[in-house]
A and B are shown apart, each in its own frame.
Chain A
């Protein structure tokens, strides 16, 4: 059994109360930081950097490094924004974390705010997560009553006001800079740094945006130290645990907290209950919809930011979508691209027009009207997505790029036979181009 950290208080059917969270060591780090100023804000930043805590929202940027970009003499108020706008298809870990142990997140937010001396923390939450938003609003009040949040925390004279803000409800709102625009009441178009949000973010003031899971790690790192956090991982380069959201053709889909660096095969076979009867693993999205489609040859890859990057893949949010040999991957790409084409904010041309173009070609291929030259057009356009305004379009192109590179035969089978090899229940036939 691997140690559980973030989900240690997870209970079937109900949230963990503040008392339960405190019994497991909760709010101790907060008390030390606020009452004894040990660790000081600078120490917190240093510990987080040393712990190699990487942002869990998809980009994997070290939290300590990001915090260090808030200038010492930056103006106040400063903002900490907890990004709970979880809309990456296949990803549902943040919702589980909030429902399982909301005070863990609240403490993480207040500590992270302390690290950059932010007075105001905003939880930017997906509007479909109304239950989670209400839980947070209720539990924040409980934490406030107990002195862990709000004005004059534990008599320290320092404040951290927590605000729950329901998102405008589009995928792009989860992009850090678009999120800031949305909070300001503007259209959720991304902003182009510089300046970075940590120097001029929300209302031109220093703003640190962090994902729910990242923030949940913070109290544990401070309680147990950077070395401990690193030792949780199974790889040398990794640190901590990761909450994986597994979906698709497995017997036991769900959220699993496992050490960073756990093998994909172990995640699927030992935790997600293995493939459903009659299904064989063909491919998976390793980290949500905006990561490259990963072939079976990567079945034993270690799920870790560093390791996967070396092999040309991204761990993203750790949302593993598993596809079996009966699933048409062109159909998968169509499904994902439909989502991305719809969710583009519409700011820049490659994303707004290019993604629907690619979608149109994929639809034609899937419908048996594909032509050989489509593959080259798709490849070229996907490649050009890196010149778009923000990271949305390259992410949207990633699964298609994975499809074309790793499942070329499956795509050409569609085109050569002018039909989808998986239709009419002929799944897994020889024409499928399956790797089995």
Chain B
């Protein structure tokens, strides 16, 4: 633990901490452009120069390139260092256009901040500015190379961190160019991060262009609900629509980056097609009235056929609050039950949840420190893209990566694959725990499996990644068994399951055995289920046989949908109750490593001005209420549909939930990093 002095402050930091980070830990911000913790220090921009007055290093050095050591005395405001940094800014501004007022990065720009902070206001250099031709990089990212200050963050991120080669650096000297060989859509599924890491406006978000300035936006911290990883996001909203998502920082989950699917997968929130009004038999009405009508019909059917005729279908798209409400309501009303869509997409999900414990769980960020990774029946790049990026970091640090999977896998790093059929996987995985000699007779997979086993034997902290879709329950159980066996062999082995949805974990946590979509469809086919409430249900999407589902749905006497998305079930429903989405109501989501996180609402809700204004200018509707506002959160709609008095606030809802489901109690005290909740707790 080195002790050092920075600007007369005594600081103690962990060994290996860079001086630039040591200073920041004491509240001293040293300017930086090229330095980005995830991408490492490279000493290119030279703007973090400080003076080392005493100790093992002396003179002006880059604070990002020097690790803190005992006895260092550092001055960040030494006159020579300040003068040098001022020159660095001036050099950068030689060629940077003076277009801040019209630049999309304006107000959101590190270069702007540091130029102003550094006092560079008057241009001394009277030479010409360098200009470049910009490139078309696809529909998501705008390219404006004139603004580039050559920090190399983009090429380092793109090529080193992500392993994609179609964007990089070309040319030398003042003709350095960051881009592609020729115009074209970026191939990297994480390319949106270029927007976040670029310290100025070379890469800007294309879809959100002309929607406003940073200071115009309502901003909030959210949790990405696109897959089960629960990455942190920063949400910007304006005029009742979500405008832009950026990566939020999470030390445990996603670090500083998110994938493009998460960044750009929010268009449904602002969609014209999204249900925004209650609907009863093709008549529109207020959501509360529609919910009351639904409650009435359900009561009638319950009287006619008994409570066993009523079923609820839901998905891991819902917040924990909504899932808890439905689980509870199904139980107290003695309905047929809550059927969980996610079990169609991930038959192994329940096993992945029950197989996880405080001891064997691993955060995505910690996957980067694994010394060996074995993925069974999992394709992270498709099922949980950021995990593939974490695996790449482990691979870069020397970890061997192996896969047992029937599919043609393409990951941005080298790995060795055993191309076994889905039903072979459980046997192969559990075979590794049964000792030597098992694979020698297997002519097809023997050699590769032996290699995996040998690597596992050598590893100290292996991570077993398992999918819940391809291999099903048997694969997940085998993977969990392997982890258990490895842990008994004194290895710090961890299990990392990939679940189908953002809150699959939550749904299973509340009830270890929710009904499966197969059971639901059978119930409908047999005529035992007469009424179905599709509560944010993706049954149509996850069902393998839509014709069969179509026939089953036609047998229902009543279909009710409560949703924030225009699903097929919504369009078929007799009664529709529109609900607020996570961007308007917030919600708790539990990711695949059992981490419950609170996603803040981004705005108060309502139909986007873009829609209500119908193109008029100014796009205003004068009235007391927010057009399209006042929808119930999904959990509130649940109570309304059940015809019962709901908790009267979100706070009351939380009190109720933590009492009704004691396993969820930790969410009341969770911090910004969330809290881990395991089923056995």
Contacts and interface: CB of A to CB of B under 8 A. Distances in A.
A382 to B, nearest CB: 11
B172 A350 contact: no
A179 to B, nearest CB: 15
B45 A353 contact: no
B176 interface: yes
B174 A170 contact: no
B101 interface: no
B44 A360 contact: no
A192 B62 CA distance: 12
A369 B509 CA distance: 77
Contact of B174 (A192, A347, A352, A387): A352
Contact of A192 (B43, B45, B152, B169): B43
Contacts of B84: 384, 387
Nearest to A345: B172
A429 interface: no
B43 A346 contact: no
A343 interface: yes
A387 B43 contact: no
Given A357-B94, A380-B87, A387-B60, A349 B172 contact: no
Nearest to A390: B43
A349 B176 contact: no
For B44, B91, B169, the residue with the greatest tally of chain A CB atoms inside 10 Å of its CB is B91
B150 A346 contact: yes
Given A357-B125, A387-B49, A346 B173 contact: yes
A352 B176 contact: yes
Nearest to B128: A360
B335 to A, nearest CB: 64
Given A352-B150, A354-B91, A346 B46 contact: no
Contact of A346 (B83, B88, B91, B176): B176
A427 to B, nearest CB: 28
Contacts of B490: none
Interface in A327-383: 341-350, 352-354, 356-357, 360, 377, 380-381
B53 to A, nearest CB: 16
Nearest to B49: A387
Interface string B166-186: 000101111110000000000
B47 interface: yes
B488 interface: no
A187 interface: yes
Contacts of B87: 350, 354, 380-381, 384
Interface residues of A, number: 27
A348 B88 CA distance: 10
Contacts of A342: 173
Contacts of A377: 124
B94 A353 contact: yes
A129 interface: no
Interface string B116-138: 00000000111100000000000
Contacts of B83: 380, 384
B46 A344 contact: no
Given A354-B91, A384-B84, A384-B87, A348 B172 contact: no
B534 to A, nearest CB: 55
B47 A192 contact: no
B665 interface: no
In this complex, the interface size class of chain B, counting residues with CB under 8 Å from chain A, is 20 to 34
Contacts of B65: 192
A21 interface: no
B383 to A, nearest CB: 33
A381 B175 CA distance: 21
B45 A356 contact: no
B92 interface: yes
The CB with the most chain B CB atoms within 10 A, among A345, A349, A387, is that of A349
Contacts of A388: 46
A352 B84 CA distance: 15
B95 interface: yes
Interface string B91-126: 110110000000000000000000000000000111
Interface string A195-230: 000000000000000000000000000000000000
Contact of B95 (A172, A353, A380, A384): A353
A389 interface: yes
Contacts of A384: 83-84, 87
A84 B149 CA distance: 33
Contacts of B173: 341-346, 352, 356
Nearest to A377: B124
Nearest to A346: B176
Given A360-B127, A384-B87, A353 B174 contact: yes
A347 B42 CA distance: 10
B154 to A, nearest CB: 14
Given A353-B174, A357-B94, A347 B44 contact: yes
Nearest to B60: A387
Contacts of A344: 172-174
Contacts of A187: 169
Nearest to A364: B126
Contacts of A170: 172
A384 B87 CA distance: 8
A349 B46 contact: yes
Contact of B46 (A172, A357, A360, A387): A387
Contacts of B150: 346, 349, 352
23 contacts: A344-B174, A346-B150, A346-B175, A348-B43, A348-B45, A348-B46, A349-B44, A349-B92, A350-B87, A350-B91, A352-B91, A352-B150, A352-B173, A352-B174, A353-B91, A353-B92, A356-B94, A356-B173, A357-B91, A357-B127, A380-B83, A384-B83, A384-B87
Given A192-B65, A346-B176, 13 more contacts: A341-B174, A343-B172, A343-B173, A345-B173, A347-B152, A348-B44, A349-B150, A354-B91, A356-B174, A360-B126, A384-B87, A387-B46, A389-B44
Interface of B: 43-47, 49, 60, 65, 83-84, 87-88, 91-92, 94-95, 124-127, 149-150, 152, 169, 171-176
